[in-house]
Amino acid sequence: MLYYFKIAANILIRFAKAVFDLALFSVFVIQLTVRDLIYTVTNPFLPSRRVGNVIPRGYPGHGGSWPEYTAPKRGEDSRSPCPGLNALANHGISRLSNKTEGILPNNGKRITYTQLSHAIQHAYNLAPTLASQLTSAAKQLDQGRGWIDLHDLNVLNVVQHDASFTRPDIAFCPDQSYPHTDLVERLLDHASDGKHLSLADFSYYSGLRRAECKRSNGQYTLSGSFLHKMIGSGTSALMYSIFGGNIEALRVWLVDERFMDGWEPRNREALGHTIAQALATSLAVEFSIDEKQALRTGDVFYHK
């Protein structure tokens, strides 16, 4: 027998919860946008951080000095499809230490959002707003626990998407935790000047990856999601702004998921790189992508 009162009460409760969540989300977006605009318009009037001092004193990576690199133990440590987070765990603190500020635990497990946000903000010189926006993506996987393991980010179409630069699509490679060196080298080979990936190089390579993944993957999902295309272009924008597209530093970061000795972010904004800056660069990459472009000499589609 159906309990009509219970059904009606559940509909009301769910509706009220949806309205409450929407209100909370709107407040989050509005305050983030206002704060980000303040950082964006203030940055040009402040002196840039000095070379060697981009990461504040007292934080891992200050002066290019990173904590020791420890490769992840397969089957034991948790890693994600994101080189940005994996590198912070690979230089991370051991599970025996309780000093967590500015880096991630080496086992990649039980990472809180505050820990995540602080670590990326300081290591990559991001404005607190951009760090908070990127971290909010991970919160979608939270399930009310208050933490994630890096491996949780493997799930398709929350943040992880098809046609990535460093991993084959999840249909071919269910574990997205580890980079594929051949794919990374292929990306780096597309630096037009042989040293730096330009925005045009990133757009060209995205077009190539999207076209080849669409052809070879019967479960390809990127075509229908502008959000995930923008996430992809967002990662290109970060590699361009934070690494200057420098292929030497990118190779170490993308293949070994560690920081080159002496490396610090190339972006030196006093208040950190903002959402507005990252969005402008991402849009420039995204709207230059042409999946039907003529391939550069020597390029062929990659099938796995």
116 binds ligand HEM (CB under 6 A): yes
249 binds ligand HEM (CB under 6 A): no
Strand spans (E) along the chain: 111-112, 147-148
Query: Which residue number, 93 or 278, has a Cβ lying nearer to ligand HEM?
Result: 278
Query: Which residue number, 62 or 266, has a Cβ lying nearer to ligand HEM?
Result: 266
Q: Judged by CB under 6 A, which stretch of 23-31, 158-166, 213-221, 296-304 contacts ligand HEM?
A: 158-166
Query: Which residue number, 120 or 271, has a Cβ lying nearer to ligand HEM?
Result: 120
Query: Which residue number, 165 or 263, has a Cβ lying nearer to ligand HEM?
Result: 165
Query: Which residue number, 107 or 205, has a Cβ lying nearer to ligand HEM?
Result: 205
Query: Which residue number, 106 or 282, has a Cβ lying nearer to ligand HEM?
Result: 282
Least Å from the CB of residue 252 to ligand HEM: 13
- CB atoms under 10 Å from CB of 164, counted, come to 25
Q: Pick from 39, 66, 124, 202: which binds ligand HEM (CB under 6 A)?
A: 124
Query: Which residue number, 85 or 103, has a Cβ lying nearer to ligand HEM?
Result: 85
Give the integer Cα–Cα distance in Å for 108 and 85.
Answer: 9
Strand spans (E) along 2-155: 111-112, 147-148
Give the integer Cα–Cα distance in Å for 83 and 91.
Answer: 12
Name every residue whose Cβ is closer than 8 Å to that of residue 97 and which is 6 or more positions away in sequence. none
Which residues ranging from 183 to 222 are in contact with ligand HEM (CB under 6 A)?
none
Query: 203 in the Ramachandran plot: left (φ > 0), alpha (ψ -120 to 50) or beta?
Result: alpha
Longest dimension (CA), the chain: 72
Name every residue whose Cβ is closer than 8 Å to that of residue 108 and which is 6 or more positions away in sequence. 72, 77, 78, 79, 80, 86, 89, 92, 149, 150, 151
Least Å from the CB of residue 137 to ligand HEM: 5
120 binds ligand HEM (CB under 6 A): yes
Least Å from the CB of residue 243 to ligand HEM: 8
Least Å from the CB of residue 83 to ligand HEM: 5
Six token digits for residue 221: 């999902």
Q: Pick from 90, 107, 233, 235: which binds ligand HEM (CB under 6 A)?
A: 235
Name every residue whose Cβ is closer than 8 Å to that of residue 102 and which is 6 or more positions away in sequence. 59, 60, 61, 118, 119, 122, 123
Six token digits for residue 168: 């084959």
Q: Judged by CB under 6 A, which stretch of 43-51, 101-109, 134-142, 279-287 contacts ligand HEM?
A: 134-142
90 within 8 A of 258, measured Cβ to Cβ: yes
Q: Pick from 91, 118, 167, 229: which binds ligand HEM (CB under 6 A)?
A: 167
Q: Judged by CB under 6 A, which stretch of 1-9, 11-19, 131-139, 295-303 contacts ligand HEM?
A: 131-139
CA separation, residue 109 to residues 101, 106, 154, 194 (Å) = 15, 8, 14, 38
What is the total count of residues that contact ligand HEM (CB under 6 A)?
25
For ligand HEM, the binding residues (CB under 6 A) are 80-85, 116, 120, 124, 134-135, 137-138, 153, 159-161, 164-167, 235, 238-239, 242
